[in-house]
């Protein structure tokens, strides 16, 4: 058995990745990334930056991308649970404007591989979540772009949660897909 199960999604190049978990009464061990296994699966990325965030229930971060320095991201949850979303913004893609979502949690240990050319965001559905991601390009603050989370044309089916959603002021100002005037 391989160390990872690479699950294709409805959008080309976006994968849900399940690691093999070795557990006993002491706890567990797993690899979260192996360059050779990922390359064997056709996922040829060189990661240059790792990021981590902590958010409370109802925080919705995104949908973010970098325009001139796009990033591929391998995302996972260290504690808690999030609904993670990738929206295809690749020019000429048959799935342009479509989205993929997955519940990622410390319990299921799933990861989402998001290639360059996507907007990315997540909603915290547990009381708190710690979120980690590897990027194949450095973060450039002057290069930020975004897509509004509730675009009717994209129609993301965000999970219902108890309580209010919380956003950054910046994230509430992102344009809709029709008004984006940007494609990868």
Has 133 been annotated as catalytic? yes
Task: Tell me which of 15, 64, 120, 149 is the catalytic residue.
Answer: 64
**Which phi and psi (to 5°) does residue 169 adopt?**
-60, -40
| Residues paired with residue 105 on neighbouring β-strands, in sequence order | 81
Residue 141 is classified by DSSP as G
Asked if 84 and 122 touch (Cβ cutoff 8 Å), the reply is yes
Distance CA 33, CA 37 (A): 8
Q: Which two tokens stand for residue 102?
A: 């997955």
- For the chain, give the longest Cα–Cα distance: 54
Has 64 been annotated as catalytic? yes
Task: Tell me which of 15, 33, 45, 133 is the catalytic residue.
Answer: 133
Is the preceding omega at residue 63 within 30 degrees of 0, hence cis? yes
- Local structure of 170: helix, strand or coil: coil
Distance CA 18, CA 38 (A): 12
Query: Of the candidates 32, 37, 69, 34, which has an alpha carbon nearest to the alpha carbon of residue 52?
Result: 32
As annotated, the active-site residues are: 64, 133
């Amino acid at each position: 058995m391989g160390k990872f199960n690479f699950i294709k999604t409805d959008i080309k190049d976006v994968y849900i990745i399940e690691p093999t978990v070795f557990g006993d009464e002491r706890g567990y061990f797993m690899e979260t990334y192996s360059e050779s296994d990922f390359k064997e699966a056709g996922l040829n990325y060189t990661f240059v930056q790792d990021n981590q965030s902590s958010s409370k229930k109802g925080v919705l971060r995104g949908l973010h991308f970098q325009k001139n320095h796009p990033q591929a991201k391998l995302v996972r949850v260290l504690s808690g649970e999030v609904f993670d979303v990738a929206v295809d913004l690749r020019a000429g893609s048959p799935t342009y404007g479509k989205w993929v979502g997955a519940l990622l949690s410390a319990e299921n240990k799933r990861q989402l591989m998001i290639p360059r050319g996507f907007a990315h965001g997540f909603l915290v559905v547990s009381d708190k979540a710690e979120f980690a991601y590897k990027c194949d390009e450095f973060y450039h603050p002057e290069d930020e772009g975004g897509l509004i989370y509730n675009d009717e044309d994209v129609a993301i089916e965000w999970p219902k949660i108890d309580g209010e959603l919380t956003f950054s002021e910046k994230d509430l100002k992102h344009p809709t897909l029709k008004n984006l005037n940007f494609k990868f």
